[in-house]
Amino acid sequence: MEPVPIEPKVERRDLPPFDRLCRWLALAGGVVLALAGAVTVASVFGRYFFNDAIAGDSEIVSNLTAIAVALFLPWCQLARGNVIVDVFTERASAPVKAILDGLGSFLLALIAGVVAWRLAAGGFGLAAAHDETMVLRLPTWWAFAVIAPAFALLAAASVVTTWRDLAPLRRS
């Protein structure tokens, strides 16, 4: 389902350090996204008032967006933003739900780890090949330098949520 738009009111001071780091990175991602929006607006103004759009603005905007979204991912997992279908398991007991949720988080940890590894390999490959964007000739590996570590952090966040998912089992 779509995430419920009302964030649970957690006192920020109560958050564990790792959560605070991820939330802080998500906020930083939000600022990067706002920057992408600002570049778009500047380009529109340039086009209509000065007959001159920012050259290669879409390269800047799409790379900034990619960086912003990657920074969102670890917090999204910690805040349980990744949606599940719970219709079929509504009546399951708490330990069964805990095991299934833990399994889901663990699978995400594995996948995010593999993706981080592959993106790192991809980034190093692009850097070695001196790959550049079409118009502005920006090095393409810059975005990878943020996105690959962000996926590694997503893997870490998923390990944390796996541990938390299994909490009901430890208690009983």
Partner 1 sequence: MDGPTIGLVFTLAMLALMFLRVPIAVSMMLAGGIGYVVLAGFTPFLASLKTGPYFQLANESFTVIPLFLLMGFLASHAGISRRIFEAANAFLGHLRGGLCVAAIGGCAFFGAICGSSLATAATMGQVALPEMRRYGYDGALATGTLAAGGTLGILIPPSIPLIVYAILAEQNIAKLFVAAFLPGILATLGYMTAVAITVRLRKGAAPAAARSTWRERACALVRFLPVSVLFLLVVGGIYSGVFTPTEAAAVGTGGVVIIACFARGSKLAIFRQSLVETAVATGMIFMILIGADIFNSFIALSGLPQALASWIVAKGFSPMTVMLAILVVYLIMGCLMDSLSMILLTIPIFFPVVIALDFGLSYEETALWFGILVLIVVEVGLITPPVGMNVFVINKIAGDVPMRQTFKGIVPFLLSDFLRVALLLSFPVLSYGLVYWLGW
Selection from 76, 80, 78 nearest residue 30 by Cα: 76
State which of residues 72, 152, 153, 155 lies at the interface with partner 1 (CB under 8 A).
72
In the window 99-128, what residues touch partner 1 (CB under 8 A)?
A: 100-101, 103-104, 107-108, 111, 114-115, 118-119, 121-122, 125-126
In the window 1-60, what residues touch partner 1 (CB under 8 A)?
A: 1-7, 23, 26-27, 29-31, 33-34, 36-38, 40-41, 43-44, 48, 58
State which of residues 16, 20, 55, 84 lies at the interface with partner 1 (CB under 8 A).
84
Selection from 151, 141, 159, 157 nearest residue 117 by Cα: 151
- Which CB atom, from 89 or from 171, has the smaller least distance to partner 1? 89
Task: Give the sign of the dihedral formed by CA 78, CA 113, CA 111, CA 101.
Answer: negative
Distances in Å between the Cα of 51 and the Cα atoms of 11, 47, 57, 59, 125 are 49, 5, 14, 19, 38
Q: How far apart are CA 54 and CA 169, in angstroms?
A: 56
Residue 56 φ/ψ, nearest 5 degrees: 65, 30
Q: How far is the CB of 172 from partner 1 (least distance, A)?
A: 19
Binding stretches for partner 1 (CB under 8 A): 1-7, 23, 26-27, 29-31, 33-34, 36-38, 40-41, 43-44, 48, 58, 61-63, 65-66, 68-73, 75-77, 79, 81-89, 97, 100-101, 103-104, 107-108, 111, 114-115, 118-119, 121-122, 125-126, 143-144, 147, 151
